Amino acid sequence: MVWVQFVVCAFLVVLVGSRLSFYGDVIAEKSGLGRLWIGAVLIGGVTSLPELATGLSAVILVKRPNLAAGGIFGSCLFNLLILALMDGIYRGGPLLSAVSGGQILSASLSLLMMALAALSLLLASKFSIPSFLGFQVPSILILLAYLIGYRIILSRERRVFKRRNLYPHVGSSGAYLWFFIMSVVMVALAVWLAYIGNEISRVTGWGCTFVGLLFLAVVTSLPELVVSFTAVRLGAPDLAVGNVFGSNAFNVAILAFFDFAYRGDFWHSLATSQLLALTSAMGMTGLTLFALTHPKRRAFWGMGWESPLLILIYLVTSWFLFVLRKLG
């Protein structure tokens, strides 16, 4: 029965997320903020609401911080796989060669935040981490990095964005309203998903870290998958790629809220096996940064050279997570 609930919940998440790209593109045009910033912040934040709500439910209701953090790190990993999958369906050449230079800032910020999370996890395994106003120091640094980083990206986008009046028949107020409605439904589904993940962990005996890193991560990343594929079909690669990098940055920022909600030493409670997915995601982000800074028009089976490597790293990491599943 738990697997039936899992499939139903996954289907509903896809259904709700299917319209986010369209309304996000409308908001990018009407607001003048640009596709990169809207994709990275607004859509990236909204499509990460399942990770936020699922993680908070796992931390507060079922007391499983490893389930929450595993969902975050696994989602970062799966989001980068989405880049390779989108590259496979994009018909304008290698996907990362078709986006604006501002994506370098977004990718760099997500890499920096993952590095901060990895360092925090390592230090917490050896030392006692001080707290301030309910947040441990690493969580405060992660939040500051997120806020400062996207303030810089916003300033850049405002300088370079040009309006094209693509959606004259759609009102901005209606787009914002539907965006809000979809977000509320997504949170409700994510709370349900936390209970499903805990039950899968209990029934299978696979451990919270593995269930969070694989099962919950994939389902809570379904909005990113649907939204990004829709953006590619709309001819908005910046919106699609910005959603992936923005979602990863927001995912890491979410860890600070898990820390605040958890009644205990959050960073110390995390299993060191979480580092496997986190460092793999960092390596994959590094590959995308190289591809962004050295764009190529020559494709490999219709994709950029980096996409087969992203797929390979994801598959190898997933195999190791399965092998090590009993550790968490």
pLDDT score at 161 = 57
Q: How confident is the model at residue 303 (pLDDT cuts 50, 70, 90)?
A: confident
Which has the higher per-residue pLDDT, 213 or 200? 200
Which has the higher per-residue pLDDT, 207 or 6? 6
Tell me the pLDDT tens digit for each residue of 34-69.
566 666 666 677 767 777 877 787 788 777 888 788
Where helices occur in the chain by DSSP H, the ranges are 2-17, 20-31, 35-37, 44-47, 49-60, 65-89, 103-124, 137-160, 172-204, 208-211, 217-220, 222-233, 237-261, 266-269, 274-293, 306-323
Tell me the pLDDT tens digit for each residue of 253-280.
999 999 998 878 888 888 887 888 899 9
Domain CATH code at residue 26:
1.20.1420.30
The pTM of this model reads 0.79
Range of the domain at 212: 2-161+169-327
Distance of CA 136 to the CA centre of its chain: 22
Tell me the pLDDT tens digit for each residue of 109-136.
999 999 999 999 999 888 887 878 778 8
Q: How confident is the model at residue 252 (pLDDT cuts 50, 70, 90)?
A: very high
Based on the structure, what is the number of domains in the chain?
Answer: 1
Tell me the pLDDT tens digit for each residue of 148-182.
988 887 777 666 555 555 565 666 677 778 778 87
pLDDT score at 163 = 57
Helix (H, G, I), strand (E, B) or coil at 40: helix
